[in-house]
Structure formats: C-alpha cells, structure tokens
Amino acid sequence: MKAFRADPELFRSRREQGDRADLSVDGLTLRFGGVVAVNDVTLRVRTGEFLSVIGPNGAGKTSLLNCITGYYRPQEGSISFNGRNVTHMHTHELVREGIGRTFQNIELFPGMSVLSNLLLARHIHYRYGFLPAALFFPSARREEVRHRRIVEELIDFLEMQSIRHRLVGSLPYGLRKRVELGRALALEPKLLILDEPFAGMNLEEKEDMVRFLRELHGEWKRTIVLVEHDMSIVMSLSERIAVLNFGEKLAEGTPGEIQDDPEVTRAYLGPSEEG
C-alpha cells in the first residue's frame, strides 16, 4: 500500500491538538412538519473507529449527518463532541471543533480550480491577519506557500496531479467526488463524515476510493463515519455498522452481526419477501 508521504512538519497543527474524536448523539429527534426524519437516535463514535450508517432511501441518514454538522437544528436530544456539547453550534464552528464532511449531492465551488477548492478548506488554519494579507507581506507569502504544500500533498495522495488546475465544474462526476474528499481532508478534521462518497461512480473509481479510505483509516488513524448504499463496500470497510429505518435506529453491531440480523433483512427487503 502506498503510504502517505507527507512531510511531518506540515501536519503539526493537527497533531498538537491531538486526534481525539469522540462523538455521542443522544436521543436525537428531528422533524420536518409531520415527517419525523430522525427519531430518538442514540449513537456513539469512538476515536479511531470506522462506523457506517446504512438504511433504505429516506431513512434519515443524511438528516442525521446534517444535525451533527450543524446544517439542521434537531428539536430534541443532544450531540457532544470530545466532551463538549455541540448541539447548537453553527456549521462553521463545528468545522473548527474538527468535524469535516462531504455531501451526498456534491457541494463544491464549480467555478474554481481543484487547487482553489482545496485551499479554501485551509481557511481555518491560516494565521496571518487581514492587513499583512492585503499588503502581501513576506509572512503572508510564506504562509500561502506552506498551505499550498499541504494541499499538494493531498493532491498527490488522491492522485489528482493532472487535474489540479482544472475547473471543478468541468470534471466528471467520479472525480468531483474525489475532489470533495480532498477538500474535506484539507480541513484536517478529527472526525471525517462521508455521505455516499461512492454514489454514481464506476467500478474503477470505487476501487480507488476504497483504497483511499482504507489508507486514511489504517495508516492515518482517521475517525470516519460513512453513509453508503453499496453493501459490499460497507461490509469490507466498517468496524461497526448502525442501521436506520424510518428515522429510528434499527440495529447496531459488527458487519457480521448486521448481516445476520433478521430485522435488518426485513427492513431492506420489505415484509412481503418473508416466508
């Protein structure tokens, strides 16, 4: 496996803060009018873990992620991250806390290059003030170069060297998904949340993505929450799986336990398939 060859100096900022990423969601409920998108869900993610959340369409997976990342406001329940109550934090504050994500329906900056997209994700890591930047002091230049090097490491890792100057809007779907992963990584999140990163990809692209996620979890020790419909991928990557159905948590366990769970089979195949 291709080990990530990042210069350790570059990623010092991340390691100084430590990699702790303990998430706990307690009794979370989110309603849209009459629709209960998330219903009394309790979930734990521990540091270094690879957790997948699965469930049929409309089960509330994206809604759950949107609550965790501050896009939706749950009506009941609480979310805490590394011991801090983050239930009512805004998205941009949660990013600083160390929660980064990708979106189910790609949310990139289409008019900008791959490079600019990734540099934007460095926003919270810049140290220079407004004036040194406006006058482009040597300190500002040095810092721009430093972030550029970090971003280039990620571009190498994700094998995107040849497209770094391409406009994101002109890239095929599979590559955009990869750019989005790169952008999430450039945030240097402690907790990486991925909403269907494999959707719409062909087999080769899926293989690449699996390889990247393996390395991120294995070598990098990233804590990852994955939402995905492709069961073979979920089963091979995850350490633990949570199953949602109609907003409720139906089951939770290792891939083996989930595969053998009759309730999960019923949720997926529908009651009519039984007997």
Partner 1 sequence: MARLQFHPCGNYRESYGEELRIFETDYGRAALLAGLVLLFAVVPFISSAYFLYVINLAGIAVIGAVGLNILIGFTGQISLGHGAFIGVGAYGAAILATSLHLPLFLAVPLAGCVTAAVGMIFGIPSVRLKGLYLAIATLAGQFIIEYVLIQWEGLTKGTMGIVLPQATLFGLPISGDRGFFYLIFALAVFMTWTAKNLFRTRSGRAFMAIRDNDRAAEGMGIPVFPYKLLAFGISSFYAGVAGALWAYYTMSITPEPFNLDLSIEYIAMVIIGGLGSITGSVFGALFISGLNEILRSLFDLLTNLPLLQGMELNPAALRQFVFGLAIVLFILFEPKGLAEVWRVVRSNFRLWPFSY
Ligand X SMILES: Nc1ncnc2c1ncn2[C@@H]1O[C@H](COP(=O)(O)OP(=O)(O)OP(=O)(O)O)[C@@H](O)[C@H]1O
Closest distance to partner 1 from the beta carbon of 111 (Å): 5
Closest distance to ligand X from the beta carbon of 201 (Å): 16
Based on the shown chain and the rule CB under 8 A, indicate whether residue 71 belongs to the binding site for partner 1: yes
Among the listed residues 41, 89, 95, 258, the single contact to partner 1 using CB under 8 A: 95
Q: What does the per-residue mask of binding to partner 1 show for 155-194, with x meaning CB under 8 A?
A: ----------------------------x---x-------
Cα torsion angle, 112, 114, 120, 121, sign: positive
User: How far is Cα 4 from Cα 158, in angstroms, rounded to an integer?
Assistant: 10
Based on the shown chain and the rule CB under 6 A, indicate whether residue 37 belongs to the binding site for ligand X: yes
Based on the shown chain and the rule CB under 8 A, indicate whether residue 205 belongs to the binding site for partner 1: no
Based on the shown chain and the rule CB under 6 A, indicate whether residue 136 belongs to the binding site for ligand X: no
Among the listed residues 41, 45, 64, 119, the single contact to partner 1 using CB under 8 A: 119
Window contacting partner 1 (CB under 8 A); options: 6-14, 54-62, 107-115, 210-218? 107-115
CB 221 within 8 A of CB 214: no
Based on the shown chain and the rule CB under 8 A, indicate whether residue 123 belongs to the binding site for partner 1: yes
Based on the shown chain and the rule CB under 6 A, indicate whether residue 32 belongs to the binding site for ligand X: yes
Q: What does the per-residue mask of binding to ligand X show for 44-63, with x meaning CB under 6 A?
A: -----------x-xxxxxxx
Closest distance to Mg ion from the beta carbon of 166 (Å): 28
Based on the shown chain and the rule CB under 8 A, indicate whether residue 135 belongs to the binding site for partner 1: yes
Closest distance to Mg ion from the beta carbon of 62 (Å): 3
Q: Choose between 215 and 230: whose C-beta lies nearer to ligand X.
A: 230
Based on the shown chain and the rule CB under 6 A, indicate whether residue 191 belongs to the binding site for ligand X: no
Copy the structure tokens of residue 212. 């990247």
| Residues ≥6 apart with Cβ < 8 Å to 45 | 21, 22, 23, 24, 51, 191, 223, 225
Place of tokens 């002109």: 170
- The count of C-alpha atoms lying within 13 angstroms of the C-alpha of 245, restricted to the half-sphere facing its C-beta, is 12
In the chain, the N- to C-terminal Cα span, in Å, equals 45
Based on the shown chain and the rule CB under 8 A, indicate whether residue 150 belongs to the binding site for partner 1: no
Closest distance to ligand X from the beta carbon of 102 (Å): 13
Footprint on this chain of partner 1 (rule: CB under 8 A): 69, 71, 90-92, 95-96, 100-101, 103, 107-112, 116, 119-121, 123-124, 126, 128, 130, 133-136, 140-141, 144-145, 148-149, 152, 183, 187
Footprint on this chain of ligand X (rule: CB under 6 A): 32, 35, 37, 55, 57-63, 104
